[in-house]
Structure 1
Amino acid sequence: MDSFNSKIAKIVGFKGLKGDIKLSLETDFDLICGIKSVKLTAPISALAAESINARVDRLYCEGRLVLLKLKGFADRTACEKLLGYTVYTEKEQLRALDEDEWWIDDLIGLTVYTRHPLKIFGKVSTVYGDSNITLAVCDKAGKEYLVPFVKALVPVVNIAEGRIEIENIPGLLDESADDSEGDSEEDKE
């Protein structure tokens, strides 16, 4: 299995003639500032699905730009073929998360419970956004609901137990879904 499975950026351009690569980040800069190596994957539209492993020479911010310099890519000409590539790294190279931080991939698939009464509602199907996160939650019937990922609405996230709990305020989730025959925590015991 490939250990370079943490998507961190997309290559969107270049700066100057010395091989500095402009990145559009998929995560916060402070999580990736210490990485030493990356895997670059060609866009799906490319004829040959190419990937390149490379060592990081320098990763830095200049104003609002995030720039990457790779060892072995001495000038702009050497880098230009990388336009549109996706940049991955190993999860172990990323900064450890703080207490109330989670990897987006870890949220997908978690069982969603409504609170008061505690009842199984569905699963997290996907996550939208980068700084303002929204969870897409599918109920048992497959209907999707969008839930802003804020502490007031999602007070409990427990990756180890594979669950999150949502405060079902009026209008957030379908009223009929909340009154459905969900499995309550009391029924499971």
Structure 2
Amino acid sequence: MEDMLRVGVITSPHGVRGEVKVFPTTDDAARFKTLKQVVLDTGKETISLEIEHVKFFKNMVILKFKGYDNINDIEKYRSKDLLIRREQAVELEEDEYFIADLIGLAVVTDAGEALGTVKDAMETGANDVYIVEMKDGRELLLPAIGDCILDVNLDEGRMTVHVLDGLMDL
């Protein structure tokens, strides 16, 4: 399991006083109000940042980090991930999982046939859709609904699914 979870991506500076626009990658952008710190992944290193204040504009979160007071301080972090430690994450309900924990799981049908591995997940509004990279290189899109996703076992690294009629034809 991943120790760090992505909650957003810096898209651009906002104004000249060191604020940044962040595209939230969490289900609830309002959770930024309660976050005190995030970890910036620059690709070469990680930097712990203290959040000074939070605003919201359309689908974006505007963040100001302590000690970053002008556009030049923050411009270099465009397109970089903002992470939190797992212990800062929201409590999940039963049958809810972090996408980072699902990626890489082996996908097996209820008949015992190995299909491939979870490559990614798409959030569609109605329900998530898991992208499974099959052994032959094709992708299978599985809706994250109870009729299709039968069991997720993170300890064993396996997801058991029922492939609904027609899904393999797409």
TM-score, normalised with respect to structure 1: 0.70
- 1:22 shift after superposition: 0.3
- For the pair 1:165 / 2:164, whether they are aligned, the reply is no
Q: Summarize deviations over 1:25-64 as a string: whole Å, max 9, x none.
A: 222224554322222233x6xxxx3543211222342343
- Counterpart Cα distance in 1 of 2:164 and 2:117: 18
- Counterpart Cα distance in 2 of 1:143 and 1:127: 14
Q: Residue type matched to 1:35 in 2?
A: L
Residue in structure 2 matching 1:105, options 100, 120, 138: 100
- Counterpart Cα distance in 2 of 1:156 and 1:81: 42
1:17 is aligned to: 16
Unaligned regions of 5+ residues in structure 1, if any? 175-189
- Counterpart Cα distance in 2 of 1:78 and 1:57: 15
Identical counterparts, % of pairs: 28
Residue in structure 2 matching 1:124, options 94, 111, 117: 117
Pairing of 1:76-115 with structure 2 (within 5 A) = 76-115=71-110
Residue in structure 2 matching 1:75, options 70, 93, 96: 70
Unaligned regions of 5+ residues in structure 2, if any? none
2:57 is aligned to: 62
SS in 1 for 2:168: coil
SS in 2 for 1:173: helix
Contact 1:38 1:53 in 2 (8 A): yes
- 1:79 shift after superposition: 2.1
Query: Which one has a larger percent strand, Structure 1 or Structure 2?
Result: 2
Q: Residue type matched to 2:118 in 1?
A: S
2:40 is aligned to: 40
Larger Rg: 1
- Counterpart Cα distance in 1 of 2:119 and 2:75: 33
TM-score, normalised with respect to structure 2: 0.77
**For the aligned residues, what is the CA RMSD?**
2.8
Q: 1:169 to 1:9 in 2, by over 3 A?
A: same
Pairing of 1:147-162 with structure 2 (within 5 A) = 147-162=142-157
- Counterpart Cα distance in 2 of 1:173 and 1:35: 42
SS in 2 for 1:119: coil
Q: Residue type matched to 1:151 in 2?
A: G
